[in-house]
């Protein structure tokens, strides 16, 4: 069934990540339905009430629904709205205009815009950041939407394991639902989730992401490794936790490289690696290319970073900066 759209939407609040996610989803839906020719973006200096009003009033011969996506409305002033209010009083057919306001402090979507969107038959959605002490209840509610029944203790365990970013918690719930739905064998039944299951799944998910960073580092591409590091940080991964898993991967690589240099056969060098066969072969090739000396220095550096992340070590650089230095020095 094709998606149905209202004449206008206003998505506002201080959860900027969620707002960006909704904007990206709407843009994808718009392009799927009307193509890029049916989509018009209003960003930066072009995002003014007057410009949007002119676009709404303009005659168009485009086929299909027309979409207008408007950013930055949190900086608009009430006194600037008059032409837009007139355009929204009688919105053109087959047109959807969506306003996005990333609110912060005194920057808010104007009240007049709320009223105009509502009178045009549109929807208004508030995306507010959840307070830390409210997160467990928020997790329980989001989990229930996915057909998962989490106890309060299980929700608190997920927050403790994954951090307090709502987008990260949503991704973890979706991963949890996919993992458990397959084993439960029913697409409709609600699934009870206890603390043990949450802890096991969250740990496995986090470990897989950090192993991806280790693989990028060992591949010899520092730029890709740095991008992976920043992605993990944006998802709430702590530097100390990443260093622990990174250290384990580097020690495995060093042990394999040392075995190869002693003349061990590949099968012997890989003995004891707890990973799939394909991953073992990849690690062996990486270890052979890098060599024991560079891997030894990397293991020592990570050990120093781990100590610094727990309050030891020396030097004024932050743990993030020192980890990025390790990534840069290890490239090539």
Mark whether 31 and 84 lie in a shared domain.
yes
- For residue 72, the domain's CATH number is 3.40.50.300
- For residue 269, the domain's CATH number is 1.20.272.10
The answer to the question of residue 200 being in a domain is: no
Which of 145, 167, 193 is the C-terminal boundary of a domain? 193
3-state secondary structure of 27: helix
Measured over the CA atoms of residue 40, residue 46, residue 50 and residue 51, the dihedral's sign is negative
pLDDT higher for 286 or 317? Answer: 286
pLDDT at 209: 65
pLDDT higher for 214 or 72? Answer: 72
Mark whether 110 and 177 lie in a shared domain.
no
The answer to the question of residue 3 being in a domain is: no
Average pLDDT, integer, range 96-125: 94
Average pLDDT, integer, range 235-246: 74
Q: Which domain holds residue 143?
A: 132-193
Pairing relationship of beta strands 8-13 and 95-102 according to DSSP bridges? parallel
Mark residue 207 as left, alpha or beta (left: phi above 0; alpha: psi -120 to 50; beta: remaining): alpha
Q: How many CB atoms lie within 10 A of CB 261?
A: 14
When divided into structural domains, the chain yields a total of 3
Mark whether 302 and 222 lie in a shared domain.
yes
- What Cα–Cα distance (Å) separates residue 148 from each residue in 31, 122, 145, 291? 32, 31, 7, 47
- Owner of token pair 């603390």: 195
Residue 314 above 70 pLDDT? no
**What pLDDT, in 10s, does the model give residues 271-312?**
888 766 777 888 898 889 888 998 888 888 888 777 766 554
Main-chain phi, psi angles of 265, to 5 degrees: -70, 155
Mark whether 318 and 216 lie in a shared domain.
yes
Mark whether 165 and 229 lie in a shared domain.
no
- pTM, entire model: 0.50
The distance in angstroms from the start CA to the end CA of the chain is 50
Spatial separation of the C-alpha atoms in residues 202 and 204, rounded to whole Å: 5
Q: DSSP letter at 98? A: E
Whether residue 201 contacts residue 191, with contact meaning beta carbons closer than 8 Å, is answered with: no
pLDDT at 149: 93
Residue 60 above 60 pLDDT? yes
Spatial separation of the C-alpha atoms in residues 172 and 116, rounded to whole Å: 37
Task: Please report which confidence band the pLDDT of residue 130 belongs to, taking 50, 70 and 90 as the band edges.
Answer: confident
Which of 75, 96, 126 is the C-terminal boundary of a domain? 126
């Amino acid at each position: 069934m094709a998606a149905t759209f209202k004449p206008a939407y206003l998505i506002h609040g201080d959860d900027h990540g969620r707002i960006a996610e909704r904007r990206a989803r709407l843009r994808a839906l718009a392009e799927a339905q009307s193509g890029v020719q049916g989509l018009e973006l209003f960003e930066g200096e072009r995002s003014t009430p007057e410009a949007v009003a002119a676009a709404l009033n303009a005659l168009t011969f485009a086929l299909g629904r027309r979409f207008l996506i408007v950013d930055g409305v949190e900086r608009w002033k009430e006194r600037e709205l008059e032409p837009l209010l007139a355009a929204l009083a009688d919105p053109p057919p087959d047109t959807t205009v969506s306003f996005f306001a990333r609110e912060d402090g005194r920057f808010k979507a104007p009240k007049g815009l709320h009223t105009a969107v509502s009178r045009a038959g549109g929807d208004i959605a508030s995306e507010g950041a959840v307070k830390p002490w409210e997160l467990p209840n928020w997790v329980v509610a989001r989990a229930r939407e996915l057909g998962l029944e989490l106890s309060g203790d299980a929700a608190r365990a997920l927050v403790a394991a994954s951090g307090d970013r709502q987008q990260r918690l949503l991704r973890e719930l979706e991963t949890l639902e996919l993992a458990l739905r397959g084993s439960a064998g029913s697409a409709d039944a609600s699934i009870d989730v206890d603390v043990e299951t949450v802890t096991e799944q969250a740990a496995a998910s986090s470990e897989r992401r950090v192993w991806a960073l280790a693989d990028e580092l060992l591949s010899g591409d520092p730029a890709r490794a740095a991008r992976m590091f920043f992605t993990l940080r944006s998802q709430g991964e702590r530097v100390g936790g990443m260093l622990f898993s990174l250290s384990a991967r580097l020690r495995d690589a060093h042990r394999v490289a040392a075995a190869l240099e002693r003349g061990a056969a590949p099968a012997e060098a890989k003995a004891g690696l707890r990973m799939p066969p394909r991953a073992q072969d990849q690690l062996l090739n990486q270890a052979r290319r890098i060599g024991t000396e560079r891997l030894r220095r990397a293991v020592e550096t990570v050990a120093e970073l781990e100590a610094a992340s727990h309050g030891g070590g020396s030097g004024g650089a932050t743990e993030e900066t020192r980890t990025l230095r390790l990534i840069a020095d290890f490239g090539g």
